[in-house]
Amino acid sequence: MGITVSLHSELREALGEKYVLVEPEDVIVYERDGSIIQVMPEVVALPADTAQVAAVVRAAKRANVPIVPRGSGTGLAGGAVPAEGGVVVSLARMNRILEVDPRNRTALLEAGVINLDVTKAAASHGLFYAPDPSSQAACSIGGNVANNSGGPHTLAYGVTTNHVLGVEVVLDDGQVVWLGGAVPDTPGYDLCGVFVGSEGTVGIVTKALVRLMRTREAVQTLLAVFDRMDAATQSVVEITGRGIIPAALEMMDKVTIEAVEMGSSLGYPKGAEAVLLVEVEGVREHCDRAVALVREICEQTGARQVKVAQDAAERQRLWKGRKEAFGSMGRLAPHYYVQDGVVPRSRLPEIMREVAAISTRFGLRIANVFHAGDGNLHPNILFDMRTPGELDRVIEASDAILRACVAAGGSITGEHGVGLEKRNSITLLFSQQDLDAMAKVRKAFDPDGRFNPAKVFPTPITCAEMRLVPAKIPAGLWI
């Protein structure tokens, strides 16, 4: 399949010349997401509204080429990478917050709205949007829906699927339909649920109606400092085991603290093996009690220090360090590869020991920063792609981590999705029968397999072949 002259001109006619990109120096910006996989797009379409998205989908169907939906490109599994060519449809221009409805506590959003902007728009009504990926200053609502994204505060509030009431979608023939809606629990199949977590394989989400939550009366943030990783992971098990569900329960290890604090001092203790960032929210009395209990548990399990942020500024500094932790990895190594496995949280102590053993076995430095309360690991493997053979070792180490997660009763992804990167690892979890059943659901929406092909489902080629698709860099182009 390739992009034809007639498809180009159809797209230009529908969107205007400026919003159809084909020149290498324009499309190269869309060659990758946050993963290590890259493929140069053939054409990128930037529609302004749902009608234009539908026009692009119809044109792609007539030309028989793939359609790859794209939000902000912060995905970490190659989901927005155009593995089989076709039209990349960027939703970035569709970034209007159409309504904030305080009485029904909902917001109607275009798919390209940036996650953090929803909370900013709702704040004056005493409301906020709960799913808060650490990339929330950049990622889009459409991407969040497609990946069913989580974040630090989803321990208490749930992931995206718990906050999406309905979606407007463009189907494979260009039809525009609403699935779900303002009234919860509509009869019939949960078709909105099919789109949440579908990773762009069943259609394009153009709008979402999301729930808003009331801002809590009080919030307190604690930092517990540990000299042993085992003690930190055991604290997580004890805190949740004692019935306390903090709003957030995040962990950063020594290597991550080093990276974060190399930038500017945000209050993380250098030299500690691990820290827990614990946030409790609710009515004031509940918060005070929860803080006292968390402190007691952390001290009992061996925390060397537990401190409570004294004001909003200190709290924000601590969160800044956590939210910018991935970005800080660049201070330690030219490249990092972030993994996303999940285990039942009671298995955290053993899985972290296993990650440490894998780091030693493969001779690779690993920085851990993750949603500990959800048992959702993010080992960042630090490396230098220019060192011959190093990427292969990184891939093998990462595969070993995923296998260890599955062996511990967990899964190959906690929140980043399967995408291109893990489409072959999915067989660690699902049988051929399971996958066939899923493929039938997909086919019901996308009979020609045009939406985001090569994603989620395994292919006959090996992982090693799929892992890194080098971009064809046009001569004379600087990157």
Ligand X SMILES: Cc1cc2nc3c(=O)[nH]c(=O)nc-3n(C[C@H](O)[C@H](O)[C@H](O)COP(=O)(O)OP(=O)(O)OC[C@H]3O[C@@H](n4cnc5c(N)ncnc54)[C@H](O)[C@@H]3O)c2cc1C
Least distance to ligand X from the beta carbon of 251, Å?
A: 13
By rule CB under 6 A, what string of x and - marks binding of each residue 150-169 to ligand X? xx------------------
For the chain, what is the radius of gyration of the CA atoms? 22
139 binds ligand X (CB under 6 A): yes
In whole angstroms, give the CA distance from residue 235 to residue 247. 16
CA distance to 54, 56, 178, 200, 408, per residue, from 61 (Å):
11, 9, 21, 16, 43
The site string for ligand X over 43-72 (x = CB under 6 A, - otherwise) reads -------------------------xxxxx
Single out the residue of 30, 129, 157, 326 in contact with ligand X (rule: CB under 6 A).
326
What does the alpha-carbon distance between residue 199 and residue 69 come to, in Å, rounded to a whole number?
9
- 146 part of the interface to ligand X, by CB under 6 A: yes
Minimum distance between the CB of residue 399 and ligand X, rounded to whole angstroms?
A: 20
Q: What DSSP letter does each residue of 404-427 carry, written as one string?
A: HHHHTT-BS-SSS--TTTTTTGGG
- CA–CA dist 148, 169 (Å, integer): 16
Helix (H, G, I), strand (E, B) or coil at 433: helix
Binding segment toward ligand X, per CB under 6 A, in 3-11, 138-146, 183-191, 405-413? 138-146
If the CB atoms of residues 75 and 306 are measured against ligand X, the closer one turns out to be 75
- Does the protein bind ligand X through residue 297 (CB under 6 A)? no
Q: Tell me whether residue 37 or residue 408 sits nearer to ligand X (CB atom).
A: 37
Count CB neighbours of 156 within 10 A. Answer: 19
Asked if 413 touches ligand X (CB under 6 A), the answer is no
- DSSP for residue 201: S
Smallest separation, CB 213 to ligand X (Å): 18
Map the footprint of ligand X across residues 186-205, applying CB under 6 A. 199-200, 204-205
Nearer to ligand X, 250 or 354 (CB): 250
What's the rounded Cα separation, in Å, for the pair 447 and 439? 10
Closer to ligand X at the Cβ: 306 or 369? 369
What minimum distance in Å lies between the beta carbon of 388 and ligand X?
A: 27
Query: With binding defined as CB under 6 A, does residue 373 bind ligand X?
Result: no
**Residues in Cβ contact with 324 at an 8 Å cutoff, skipping those fewer than 6 apart:** 260, 263
How many residues line the site for ligand X (CB under 6 A)? 38
Question: Comparing C-alpha atoms, which of 109, 163, 107, 116 is closest to residue 138?
Answer: 116
Among 47, 75, 197, 246, binds ligand X (CB under 6 A): 75
Residue 143 within binding range of ligand X, rule CB under 6 A: yes
What tokens does 443 get? 């086919």
In the complex, what is the shortest distance from the CB of residue 38 to ligand X, in angstroms, rounded to a whole number?
A: 13
* Contact criterion met (CB below 8 Å) for 225 and 306: yes
Minimum separation from the CB atom of position 378 to ligand X (A): 8
Beta bridge partners of 305: 225
Q: Within 10 A of 62 (CB to CB), how many other CB atoms are there?
A: 13
Amino acid at 478: W
Where helices occur in 204-347 by DSSP H, the ranges are 229-241, 254-263, 284-301, 312-323, 325-328
Out of 47, 82, 142, 375, which residue is the one contacting ligand X (CB under 6 A)?
Answer: 142
Instruction: Annotate each residue in 80-109 with x if it binds ligand X (CB under 6 A) or - if it does not, as one string.
Output: x----------x------------------
- Residues 254-293 touching ligand X, rule: CB under 6 A, are none
Structural tokens at position 326:
């991935």
Judged by CB under 6 A, the residue of 50, 74, 256, 425 near ligand X is: 74
Find tokens 């924000």 and name the residue.
316
Which of 32, 211, 347, 416 is the binder for ligand X (CB under 6 A)?
416
DSSP-assigned letter for residue 38: B
Question: Closer CB to ligand X, residue 240 or residue 452?
Answer: 452
Q: Is the dihedral of CA 28, 84, 415, 118 positive or negative?
A: positive
C-alpha 410/C-alpha 323 separation (Å) is 25
Are 270 and 186 within 8 A, CB to CB? Answer: no
Phi first, then psi: give them for residue 418, nearest 5 degrees. Answer: -95, -45
Q: Which of 250, 415, 421, 446 binds ligand X (CB under 6 A)?
A: 415
Q: Does 375 bind ligand X (CB under 6 A)?
A: no
Q: Which residue's structure tokens are 């995923």?
A: 402
Q: Which residue in 47, 85, 133, 180 binds ligand X (CB under 6 A)?
A: 133
- Choice between 40 and 76, CB closer to ligand X: 76
Q: Among residues 74 and 106, whose Cβ is nearest to ligand X?
A: 74
- Judged by the rule CB under 6 A, the positions of this chain that interact with ligand X are 33-34, 68-76, 79-80, 91, 111, 133-135, 139-140, 142-144, 146-147, 149-151, 199-200, 204-205, 326-327, 415-416, 419, 452
